[in-house]
Structure 1
Amino acid sequence: MQLLVASNNPKKLAELERILAAAGVQGVELVSLREVEAYEEPVEYGRTFADNALIKARAGAQATGLATVADDSGLAVEELGGMPGVLSARWSGTHGDDQANNDLLLAQMADVPDERRAVAFVSVCALVTPDGTERVSEGRWEGRLLREEVGENGFGYDPLFVPAEEDAPGGAGRSSAQLSLADKDALSHRGKALGGLVAAIAELASA
């Protein structure tokens, strides 16, 4: 079975590949947007992560005739009322400029004390099949916002995020950008959200 991953980020496709392999799911060929005939990608106008994930997954399934997985994710900062949220990728005004997004967030939070720097990565993954069946799974990863970037293994806000599982007195914990891929898959918001779709993907593959 071919499964479209509606993303231009190869790291997301690789992450789903690892999760399916770890779960022993066979018979699934993941297909990237680069491997299908180009179609007009939809505007992500949703107010929630679930809205945007479904918008992207529906568009992929309709355009290609393939079951499609899409996700929308971002960083929710408690001190900012849950923002950047769905605006995470374009927080600085330019979509996908990780450095500008990180710099702006650090500046906005510069004077906020450590006890009020609680954040959570949130991911919602949607699976839509050509017959219109839809499934949605959400994952959250709680943590704390650092005061400077640490680590080079991640992307987005990873270098600014210390997971709750890693946080330690004195700030000695590793950032998300310092974790191994296996550790990140086991803990991360996207890993949890994708994990919630594994059974449904396995069912499609065996049909």
Structure 2
Amino acid sequence: MEQPEGAALNEVGPSPSIRPYVIISEQPARRERSFRYQAEGRVGNIPGANSTPERKTYPAIQITGYRGPIKLVVSCVTENEPYWQHPHHVVIQDFPTNEASNKELGVSIFTTSIELCNEIRFEKLGIVCTKKEDRTKVLRRRQEVNIDPVAAGFDHIEDLSSISMHVVRLCFQVFLPDETGRCCLPLKPVISERIYDKKFRREVEERNE
């Protein structure tokens, strides 16, 4: 992959000329997909927005101005601002996770390293529905451990009927290491385009009746 002009990636750490930042280099496809429950035993993979039968693409992020270890947290957020945390789960099978509480939190947390290619592709990313009786509990757990990348707060917990369970966005937050090597320095999070569940049309029809 051709590196952005001026990105000094010959040494580990931030570039001296570019403040590290994250972009979504390939959006997830907006066409309707099936959000599945864990009990169904399989998770549908979400293709990239530019994917075709002849050339498959996948959601991806790009980190500019940095090379070295990172921590990445991927969560579902609501379709509209302020982008509250959404109770559905993000499942990413591309990378082994190293956080025991991932399933309980409903987010994907893992560490990796950015080398010469500064793009991370998610070839096996899916959305898992959270059961109605577990939604508040999942969000309270995220609140307890401060998973709220855009500082939207958790006021919506008391009335989840105000958000759609058939539309989500993905929130990607990257953490760089501090002087001790602990990945705890956050870069500005990025929010994807909407991802629609196949049941979304039915929800819209019911609202309009």
Is TM more than 0.5 here?
Answer: no
Per the normalisation by structure 2, the TM-score is 0.26
TM-score, normalisation: structure 1 = 0.27
Higher strand share: 2
